[in-house]
């Protein structure tokens, strides 16, 4: 379980745990005989377009060869099951690339490209000396779900009896007011949350629920705000 350093409304801060909670499946897929279904990866193709063009003269020749037969299929490899895999970057000639410069593409609301820039190498800021700040900016839940696209959610968890009281009080305050609380980095909590070095910056919103002595404090994050075009 990862750690996050967060502050409450009374300017008290604590280091607590957080983790994602994948939804529990209520329906299971099985085979006709009741056996469990297992996902298996296979090699689909090993086609090398440049090699096909060199063999058949041009793209028209490649098309004719594809209609007449299966020159793109390597019968020794296609269909072979795959176990462990690793992602690698390839150059334009299909060779492994050892130096890759990642860029971030920013789009306008209409989908057109606005700019390209080097991907941020900003360090993670969720578990540093300065805590994530309870900003005081409240959003009604009905308004927040219409204004933002929440892409991830993390459940905050206590690591001791003191941090239990700390998180329970935050969850109860938010449930009683039926709001989401905007949280962020920086002195006023207006900065983004970066979960990993070079990761995407997010806006954070806390949601609280309590049931007797049980609580659930969820950090919803988003990098997408819905705007009218």
How much is the pLDDT for 219? 96
pLDDT greater than 90 at residue 179: yes
Q: Are 160 and 149 in contact (CB under 8 A)?
A: no
DSSP track, the chain: -EEEEEE-TTS-EEEEEEEE-PPPPS---B-TTSPBP---EE------HHHHHHHHSSHHHHHHHHHHS-TT--TTTTT-EE-S-----B-TTSPBPSS---EEEEE-TTS-EEEEEEPP-PPP-SSSSSPBEEEEEEEEHHHHHHHEEEEEEEEEE-SSHHHHHHHHHHHHHHHHHTEEEEEEBSTTS-BPB--STTPPPBEEEEEEEEETTEEEEEEEEEEEE----
Task: Give me the pLDDT at residue 225, please.
Answer: 84
The whole-number average pLDDT for the span 127-139 is: 93
Pairing type for strands 103-107 and 2-7 reads: unpaired
Min mean pLDDT across 12-21, 39-48, 61-70, 165-174 is at 39-48
Mean pLDDT of 58-80: 83
Tell me: pLDDT of 47 over 70.
Answer: no
Give all domains of the chain, ordered by start, each with its CATH number.
2-21+121-225 (2.40.290.10), 45-74 (no CATH)
Mean of pLDDT values over 82-103: 82
pLDDT 10s digits, 71-85: 777 777 788 888 888
Q: How confident is the model at residue 229 (pLDDT cuts 50, 70, 90)?
A: low
Q: Is the pLDDT of residue 94 over 70?
A: yes
Mean pLDDT of the chain: 88
């Amino acid at each position: 379980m990862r750690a996050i350093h967060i502050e409450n409304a009374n300017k008290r801060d604590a280091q607590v745990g957080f983790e994602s909670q994948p939804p529990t499946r209520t329906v299971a897929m099985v085979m006709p005989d009741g056996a469990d279904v297992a996902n298996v990866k296979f090699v689909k193709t090993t086609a090398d377009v440049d090699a096909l063009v060199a063999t058949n003269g041009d793209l028209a020749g490649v098309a004719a060869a594809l209609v007449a037969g299966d020159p793109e299929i390597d019968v020794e490899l296609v269909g072979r099951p795959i176990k462990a895999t690793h992602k690698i970057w390839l150059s334009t000639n299909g060779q492994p690339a050892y130096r890759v410069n990642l860029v971030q593409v920013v789009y306008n609301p209409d989908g057109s490209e606005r700019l390209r820039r080097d991907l941020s190498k900003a360090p993670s800021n969720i578990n540093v000396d300065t805590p994530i700040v309870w900003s005081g900016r409240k959003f009604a839940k009905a308004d927040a779900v219409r204004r933002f696209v929440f892409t991830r959610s993390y459940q905050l968890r206590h690591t001791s009896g003191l941090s239990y009281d700390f998180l329970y009080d935050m969850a109860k305050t938010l449930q009683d007011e039926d709001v989401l609380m905007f949280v962020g980095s920086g002195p006023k909590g207006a900065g983004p949350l970066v979960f990993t070095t070079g990761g995407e910056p997010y806006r954070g919103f806390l949601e609280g629920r309590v049931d007797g002595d049980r609580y659930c404090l969820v950090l919803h994050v988003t990098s997408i705000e819905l705007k009218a075009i």
